[in-house]
Amino acid sequence: MKKNIPMKRQRMNPALARMTLMQRDSMIMKATNKAMLLLAMMVLHDKFGFGKKRLEKFLEEYRKQLEAYNEGYIESVKDFENVLWEECGIKIDEGIGGEDRVEKSGM
């Protein structure tokens, strides 16, 4: 009869654990970004009549802004918020329960 010998549990290397968390976070961020982009494009198409050409232009400009942000040309999301408030009088705040609340100035 074989004896059940308790095996020593191996711990995950902390560097590997951090990398795994970073990969998970990256995957979540990519999925969230895709969902938000698809949602915006569907609204532009369904509610504002954007067709293929205008959606492609929107996507191109969206990617340019994202690239500028990722490369550090735009310091933070706050920069986008400030431009929309100053130029359009629109401010988006996270409301109670995570719902976005849109404020409009009297412009």
Mean pLDDT of 64-91: 90
Angle, in degrees to the nearest 10, between helices 52-70 and 14-48: 150
Supply the pTM of this predicted model.
Answer: 0.65
Mean pLDDT of 6-11: 68
> Running DSSP on this structure, what letter comes out for residue 73?
S
Please return the burial class of 85, using the count of CB atoms within 10 Å of its CB with bins 0-12, 13-18 and 19+.
middle
Q: Are residues 45 and 59 in the same domain?
A: yes
Mean pLDDT of 6-30: 77
Distance CA 93, CA 81 (A): 9
Distance CA 22, CA 24 (A): 5
Q: Is 15 helix (H, G, I), strand (E, B) or coil?
A: helix
Confidence of residue 11 (pLDDT cuts 50, 70, 90): confident
Q: How many domains does the chain have?
A: 2
Q: Are residues 65 and 99 in the same domain?
A: no
Q: Note the pLDDT of residue 28.
A: 86
Q: Are residues 99 and 84 in the same domain?
A: yes
Average predicted confidence (pLDDT) for the chain: 84
More confident residue, 55 or 96: 55
Q: In which domain, by residue range, is 64 found?
A: 16-74
Q: Are residues 46 and 92 in the same domain?
A: no
